[in-house]
Structure 1
């Protein structure tokens, strides 16, 4: 079973992208990290796209993923994040034990132009978000992915919305070998 983390900043369009390529990824079950977390703990309002208890959220997510994998033997793609904003608005990484606990075998980072992302958030959610915050988050996610590759040999790849479903499948099928960045 192949377990993939599909990551990207809030507003980058992960759900839109997965919907676009759904025919090519039929062999994968898609799980939303936020939906899984809410199975074990109620959402707490820490402000727009901010997380109050990062470790608690990840512990709930790990528990939910393990339960989902017991009930679903398909490969899975987790629509989630490598980094999030905490209550203070700072970029924080998810705990490293998450990757071992969930047996993530590869990371796909979806990136886009920060101006496009902030415009998308404004139109979709009616929220203003700082372009520099999006830039910082994207940089930190890629830096964390690189460190996870070097330290834990978890391969990663960066894609954009130009990536086709066939290209996406080719990339994740290569996980397990050399870094394909």
Structure 2
């Protein structure tokens, strides 16, 4: 049986959180950020540093903490990632076991142009990222989301960060 979790994926700065907050406000669906659920601040004192030293450990913690947060009968939006930057600043896919553990009922990936993402990250975190890295990361994010969706027998929905009405429609159907 699927959890009542809609997984909203996308790279840092794509707009997942903003979209999820709006959905939560309008539709009353609980928004959970993977970073908050796993208590990212316990791992990394610099929240603007997007590199993850031990992806397996953080994702194990996400699954453990998620079990303590999710209750039966409620629908959740979980915003997170299909890939992350490891401590060497290399793109690493989140292990498929994590998504098997989350067991979402829907998978949605938010995308945007690398230039807009770079601008958002610069404004939000004060860090500059090469658009080529962001493009490669976003392509990896989408490819891995497609693989995970297929593995779980789910359709993957890809939306642009400014397509709120499309997101709402996908969530409601």
Instruction: Output the TM-score relative to the length of structure 2.
Output: 0.88
Identify the structure with the greater helix proportion: 2
Shift of 1:168: 1.8
Query: What's 1:170 paired with?
Result: 169
Tell me the residue number matched to 2:16.
14
Contact 2:21 2:31 in 1 (8 A): no
Structure 2 SS opposite 1:128: coil
Partner of 1:97 in structure 2?
97
- The residue correspondences of 1:38-117 to structure 2 (distance < 5 A) are 38=39, 42-44=42-44, 48-70=49-71, 73-117=73-117
CA distance in 2, matches of 1:20, 1:75: 15
- Is this contact kept in 1: 2:31–2:78, CA < 8 A? yes
More displaced, 154-163 or 111-120? 154-163
Q: Secondary structure at the match of 1:149?
A: helix
Q: Displacement of 1:154 after TM fit?
A: 2.6
Gaps of 5+ in 1: 175-181
Cα shift readout 1:58-99 (whole Å, capped 9, x = no counterpart): 1100011111124x6311111111110000111111111112
- Report the secondary structure of 2:27's partner residue: coil
Q: 1:161 Cα shift?
A: 2.6
Normalised TM-score (structure 1): 0.85
Are 1:133 and 2:138 counterparts?
no
Partners in 2 of 1:161 and 1:42 — Cα distance? Answer: 29
Question: Which moves more between the two structures, 145-154 or 2-11?
Answer: 145-154
**What residue in structure 2 maps to residue 179 of structure 1?**
none
Q: By how many angstroms is 1:2 displaced?
A: 2.2
Aligned to 2:7: 5
